[in-house]
Structure 1
Amino acid sequence: MIALITGGANGIGAAVARRLAADGAKIVIADVDDAAGRPLAAEIGGAYVRCDVSSLPDNEAAVAAAVTAYGGLDLAFLNAGVTSGCGLGEDFDLARYRRAMGVNLDGVVFGAHAALPALTRSRGTIVATASMAGVVGVPADPIYAANKHAVVGLVRSLAEQLAPAGVRVQGLCPSFADTAILGEHRELLSELGFPILPVSEVVEAFLRLLEGDGTGECWFVIPGRESQPFVFRRAPGPR
Structure 2
Amino acid sequence: MTVKTKNVLVNMSGLSKIFPNGTTAVKDVNLEIKEGEFICFVGPSGCGKSTIFKMITGLEDHTNGELEIFGHSPDEARKQNEVAFVFQDHTLLPWKNVRDNVALPLQLKGVSKKERYAEAERVLELVGLAHTTTMLPRELSGGMKMRVSIARALVTRPRLLLMDEPFGALDEITRQSLQEELLNIWQKDSSMTVLFITHNVFEAVYLSSKVAVMTPGPGKISSNIEVPYAYPRGDQFRTTPEFGELVGDVSKVLDH
TM-score between both structures, scaled by the size of structure 2: 0.31
Greater fraction of residues in helix = 1
TM-score between both structures, scaled by the size of structure 1: 0.33
Greater fraction of residues in strand = 2
Higher relative contact order (CA 8 A, sep 6+): 2
